Amino acid sequence: MIPRYSLPEMSGIWSDENRFRKMLDVELYACEALARQGKIPKSSLANIKKRADFNVDRIREIEKVTNHDVIAFIKNVSEYIGEDAKYVHMGLTSSDVLDTALSAIMQEACDILISDVKKVLAALKTKARKHKTTLMIGRTHSVHAEPMTFGLKMALYFDEMKRNLARLEKARGIVSVGKISGAVGTYANIDPAVERYVCAKMGLKPANIATQILQRDRHAEFLTAIAITGTSLEKFTTEFRNLQHTEIGEVQEYFSKTQKGSSAMPHKRNPILCERVSGLARILRANAHAAMDDMVLWHERDISHSSVERVILPDSTILLDYMLDKFTGIVSSLVVNSDRMLENLEMSQGVVFSGRLLLELIKKGLTRNEGYDIVQKAAFAAKAEGISFKEALMKDEKISALLNKEEVEDIFDHRYHVRNVEMIFRKVGV
C-alpha cells in the first residue's frame, strides 16, 4: 500500500523484516521440537539458536539466482549458522514455514484492527450520548419520513460496529492456525508433536488437516470480515456526505482554519475524508473477492494464491487500519447543526405526523383504508394550498368530527416519536 494510506505500526507488521523474523521463529521452534525428540544434538541446537540470523538484502540477492524465496531464506540463515544448518528445515516443506508465519502476521494485524474498532465504538458512543435527544427528520427514499434523533443514528452505527468487532474477533480465531505437516500434509517426514510445539510457541493452533498449505477459506473469511467492516464505514460516511449537502446542512465534516476546499472556489468545504473512506472501501471488497478466488487451487496446492496474497493481505489490513483511524477522527470532530435539523424537520409543515394521525383515526373506529384516504387527502391539500398540515386537518370536516383541537395538537408533539429512545439506547448498550 502506498504511504499516503498507511500507518507505521500496521505497515511494519507486513515488512520483509517481520516476515523473515516470523519464518525464522518457525524454523527455530521446529529445531527445538526435534531436539526434544533427540533428532538434533543439543550442542547443535545451542549453536543454531545462538548464530541463526538473516539479512533481507542478502536473501533478495540469493533469490535472483534460486528464484525461490524460502530456499534463499534458508541459504542465508545457513550462512550464519555453518555446519549445523543441516538440521534447519529438516522434514519441513516451504509452506510449513510460510503459512505458519503468515498466520502469526495476520494475527498481529487483526489485533491492531480490533483495537481500532474499539476506538471507533468509543467515538460513536460519545456522539450518540451527546445527541440522544437532538431532534431531526428521519428519511426514507431520501424523503421526509418521521422524526427521530441524531443520537439514534449514531447508536445504530455503534451497534453495527459491535457486529464488525465480533466478525474480526472470529476471523482472528479462524486464521490463528499453523501447519507443520510436510509436503502434502501427511506428516510422512515430521512428527505431529513438532507441529504442536511450533504452533504453541507461535500462539497458534495446529490445523486439524492440511494439504501442502493451510486451506484458503480461512484467509477469505478474514478478508471478508475486513471488507464488511470497511463497507460499514462507507455506509456511515455516505450518510454524513448526504447530510452535508448544501440543501440539507445538518452535519459537516470538520474543516480546519488553514484547510482549502477547492482550487477554483474558495467558499467550498468538501467532505474529503468521508469521500476517501468511501472510495477505499471498494478496494477492500475487490480484495475479498480475490481471496475467494484463492480458495480454488489445483490438487494439494499450486501457487496461484501466493502472488495475490502478497498484495491483498497487506493492502486490506493496512487500508482498514487507516480507514478506522480516519473514521474515528471524523466522528469525534463531526459538526452537528442541531438548529438546521429542527428547521428541516419543520420544512414539511407537519405532514411527517401523518402516520400518528392515521393511528388516531383508527382508534376512533375508522378502517385503515378509510383513515389512510382521509389523511392522504389532507396531506396533499396542505401541499397544494401552501398551508400547514395542522391547518389542513382543522379544515377537514371528517377529521374535525372525530378529533377535537387538543387531540390534534397532541398529534404534533415531537416527544411521541422519540419517547422510546432511552429504551433503544439500553438495548444497544450506549
State whether 272 and 400 are in the same domain.
no
The pLDDT, as a whole number, for residue 249 is: 95
State whether 88 and 194 are in the same domain.
yes
C-alpha cell at 100: 505458519
Of the residues 342, 371, 395, the one at which a domain ends: 342
Of the residues 299, 315, 342, the one at which a domain ends: 342
The pLDDT, as a whole number, for residue 255 is: 77
Domain annotation covers residue 117: yes
State whether 294 and 401 are in the same domain.
no
CA angle 116, 118, 124 (to 5 degrees): 110
User: How far is residue 335's CA from residue 30's CA, in Å, rounded to a whole number?
Assistant: 56
Domain count, the chain: 2
Domain annotation covers residue 423: no
The pLDDT, as a whole number, for residue 334 is: 96
Nearest to 277 by CA among 224, 310, 230, 242: 230
End-to-end alpha-carbon separation of the chain, Å? 35
Q: Angle of helix 354-363 relative to helix 368-385, nearest 10 degrees?
A: 140
Domain annotation covers residue 363: yes
The pLDDT, as a whole number, for residue 406 is: 87
Domain annotation covers residue 247: yes
User: How far is residue 287's CA from residue 409's CA, in Å, rounded to a whole number?
Assistant: 55
C-alpha cell at 382: 396542505
Residue 127: give its domain's CATH number.
1.20.200.10
State whether 106 and 148 are in the same domain.
yes
The pLDDT, as a whole number, for residue 330 is: 97
The pLDDT, as a whole number, for residue 277 is: 97
The pLDDT, as a whole number, for residue 281 is: 98
CA angle 342, 346, 351 (to 5 degrees): 140
User: How far is residue 334's CA from residue 122's CA, in Å, rounded to a whole number?
Assistant: 14
Of the residues 342, 362, 389, the one at which a domain ends: 342
Domain annotation covers residue 428: no
Domain annotation covers residue 78: yes
Rounded to 10 degrees, what is the CA torsion of 106, 108, 111, 113? -60
Residues contacting residue 260 through CB under 8 Å, at least 6 positions apart: 266
State whether 276 and 315 are in the same domain.
yes
* pLDDT in 10s for each residue of the chain, 430 residues: 899 999 999 999 999 999 999 999 999 999 999 999 999 999 999 999 999 999 999 999 999 999 999 999 999 999 999 999 999 999 999 999 999 999 999 999 999 999 999 999 999 999 999 999 999 999 999 999 999 999 999 999 999 999 999 999 999 999 999 999 999 999 999 999 999 999 999 999 999 999 999 999 999 999 999 999 999 999 999 999 999 999 999 999 887 777 787 677 778 788 899 999 999 999 999 999 999 999 999 999 999 999 999 999 999 999 999 999 999 999 999 999 999 999 999 998 888 999 999 999 999 999 999 999 999 998 998 888 889 888 888 888 888 888 888 888 888 888 888 899 999 999 999 9
CA 166 to chain centre: 10
- Residues 335-339: contacts with CB within 8 Å, 24+ apart? 335/251, 335/252, 335/253, 335/254, 336/127, 336/131, 336/134, 336/150, 336/250, 336/251, 337/249, 337/250, 337/251, 337/252, 338/131, 338/134, 338/135, 338/150
Residues tagged active-site: 141, 262
CB atoms within 10 A of CB 311: 12
Domain boundaries, position 366: 351-411
User: How far is residue 135's CA from residue 123's CA, in Å, rounded to a whole number?
Assistant: 20
User: How far is residue 84's CA from residue 48's CA, in Å, rounded to a whole number?
Assistant: 7
State whether 204 and 150 are in the same domain.
yes
User: How far is residue 161's CA from residue 231's CA, in Å, rounded to a whole number?
Assistant: 11
